[in-house]
């Protein structure tokens, strides 16, 4: 099927290793952030979110870190699996609006 992210930055990781995907956001007023995973032929799926009053939030195998000083967001995936291969987007939002601004995306390739 048609692939999303043919020209996006690519991160190649060995299966079982940890992955770190980075995102720089643009609006200092943004106070809510989401990471999405988009597999080929599908729409984006919610992974994890974080509000600006937090620096770190953990989910199952995933951790999001927020550095408001430098407007940087990262997604850490522990023990990366082949099923993690996808394009990952960060999105920023300002409270009181439903408008999300999406980052450029990173393609994660998991090597067997």
Partner 1 sequence: SAVISQKPSRDICQRGTSLTIQCQVDSQVTMMFWYRQQPGQSLTLIATANQGSEATYESGFVIDKFPISRPNLTFSTLTVSNMSPEDSSIYLCSVVSLDYEQYFGPGTRLTVT
Residue 98 Cβ, how far from partner 1 at the closest point, in Å? 5
- Asked whether the CA dihedral 88, 30, 52, 98 is positive or negative, the reply is negative
CA distances (Å), origin 18, targets 12, 42, 51, 87, 110: 11, 24, 24, 16, 10
Query: If binding is defined by CB under 8 A, does position 75 make contact with partner 1?
Result: no
Answer yes or no whether residue 108 interacts with partner 1 by CB under 8 A. Answer: no
Question: Quick one: 2 or 112, whose CB is closer to partner 1?
Answer: 2
Name which position in 46, 51, 55, 79 contacts partner 1 (CB under 8 A): 46
Q: Which residues contribute to the site for partner 1 (CB under 8 A)?
A: 2, 4-8, 34, 36, 41-46, 89, 98-100, 102-105
């Amino acid at each position: 099927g048609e692939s999303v992210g043919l020209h996006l930055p690519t991160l190649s990781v060995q299966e079982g290793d940890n992955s770190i995907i980075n995102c720089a956001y643009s609006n200092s007023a943004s106070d809510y952030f989401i990471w999405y995973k988009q597999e080929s032929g599908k729409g984006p799926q919610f992974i994890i979110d974080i509000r600006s009053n937090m620096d770190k939030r953990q989910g199952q195998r995933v951790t999001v870190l927020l550095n408001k000083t430098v407007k940087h967001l990262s997604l850490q995936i522990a023990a990366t699996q082949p099923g993690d291969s996808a394009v990952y987007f960060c999105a920023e939002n300002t409270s009181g609006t439903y408008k999300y601004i999406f980052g450029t995306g990173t393609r994660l390739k998991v090597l067997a």
